[in-house]
Amino acid sequence: MASSSLVPVLPLLLLLLVCPDMAVSAAAPGGSSCYTRLFSFGDSITDAGNLASLSPNISVLEPPYGETFFGRPTGRFCDGRLIVDFIAAALRLPFLAPYLTGRTANDFRQGANFAVAGATALSHDFFRDMGLNLTLIPPYSLDVQLEWFKRVLHLLGPTEQERKDIMSRSLFLMGEIGGNDYNHPFFQNRSFAAEIKPLVPKVIQKIESAVKVLIGLGAKTIVVPGNVPMGCIPRYLAMFRSINPGDYDAAGCLRWLNDFAELHNRALKRVLERIPRDPTTVTVIYGDYYGAVLEITRNPHKHGFTNLIACCGDGGPYNSGSLFSCNATSIVCPDPSKRISWDGIHFTEAVYRFVARGVLDGPYAAPSPILSKCRC
């Protein structure tokens, strides 16, 4: 009796040995991972080294980036791992190779990361026509990343049937993407009402088009994250400081910026619900990054966090006095795991772990979390 009672526990113990950080509660009993590959698109929230491979002098390649997990900078805009890294671990997949560092099919055997820090949903030409300074806007928009993916798909699957098999057994993480379409004009002091807010339907349409492309190629499971609470980001809090207490919520976030992020997210959810697909074979999951981060900011002590001040920065009320304020000479907090923001724009590994769990297991995914149908 005693030995038979241990049988159901063994798969869970094995899972925890493979993915100790995730402690995935939604894993079903049984065999292998539900996805054989993971492909990700997006910007700096997901970029694991693509921009760094193009810019060897970028500050993200200096300490203290990477100090929490890797012990060295890896090209990730974080002190450690990203959401995509935790998702890969839960699926028993290795860290994805950044597309621009790969060379052969073997480099992408279990997936690829196409995200580029600073990337936008809308095209580079769009922002050129808008009159923005393109210095900090890389020409690797969502359309470009999709073309990269098609190259990898043909590299991995020479025949149409092989490509169909790859698409059907892969998980696709579409972003987060779109945040930089607003960040770049915000950081260049463009008008919110006249120039930035009107971008929302254009950004949403571009994301919708990308999801349709993947479905057309045969994708069966696509996760599309929403925007994060912009009003809780130190760089924005420093830029738009107000003397009116009513401009802030109880957590200290700027209401109007969070309202704007919610506007984007509502539009995105509406579009995802109406994208034509066979619901019996294709699942499009909304990743509620906004809800997950907002939970942490509203209840920081419950989740082991302290405040909205950036862990790594160059001083000021939010330790975020400039756009890219983290480098080897920065003021760095002693324990990044207790901070929400890493460098004033990006989050810490601890936050990314929390968000990943919410999308993998729930409750920050709709209509269902990633692992709800898995046999991991």
Helix axes 349-361, 289-298, angle to 10 degrees: 120
Encode 102-159 in three state secondary structure.
CCCHHHHCCEEECCCCCCCCCCHHHHHHCCCCHHHCCCCCHHHHHHHHHHHHHHHCCC
336 closest CA partner among 323, 352, 324: 352
Q: Which two tokens stand for residue 47?
A: 């970029």
Round to whole Å and give the CA distance between 345 and 327.
14
Which residues, 6+ apart, have CB-to-CB distance to 262 below 8 Å? 290
Contact 339, 306 (CB under 8 A): yes
Contact 287, 225 (CB under 8 A): yes
Q: What parts of the chain have a pLDDT lower than 70?
A: 1-33, 375-376
pLDDT given for residue 190 in this prediction: 98
Write down all domains in the chain, each with its CATH number in brackets: 34-373 (3.40.50.1110)
Q: How buried is residue 83: exposed, middle or buried, by Cβ count under 10 Å (0-12/13-18/19+)?
A: buried
Which residues, 6+ apart, have CB-to-CB distance to 288 below 8 Å? 225, 226, 265, 358, 359, 364, 365, 366
pLDDT given for residue 321 in this prediction: 86
The DSSP output letter for 167 is H
- DSSP bridge partners of 113: 40, 98
Catalytic annotation present for 343: yes
Catalytic annotation present for 125: no
User: Where are any strands of DSSP class E within 226-357?
Assistant: 283-287, 312-313, 331-332
Q: Which two tokens stand for residue 186?
A: 């915000």
CA torsion angle 359 361 364 365 (round to 10): 70
Catalytic residue among 59, 79, 346, 361: 346
CA torsion angle 136 190 272 171 (round to 10): 10
Catalytic annotation present for 154: no
Catalytic residue among 33, 44, 330, 341: 44
Round to whole Å and give the CA distance between 75 and 48.
6
Which residues, 6+ apart, have CB-to-CB distance to 248 below 8 Å? 242, 254, 255
pLDDT tens readout for residues 206-224: 999 999 999 999 999 999 9
pLDDT given for residue 56 in this prediction: 87
Catalytic residue among 43, 47, 343, 361: 343
pLDDT tens readout for residues 244-278: 999 999 999 999 999 999 999 999 999 999 999 99
| 221, containing H or E segment | strand 221-225
Instruction: Round the CA-based radius of gyration of the chain to a whole number and report it.
Output: 20
Find tokens 């190259």 and name the residue.
151
**Burial code of 164-194, b = ≥16 C-beta within 10 A, e = fewer?**
eebbeebbbbbbbbbbbbbbbbbbbebeeee
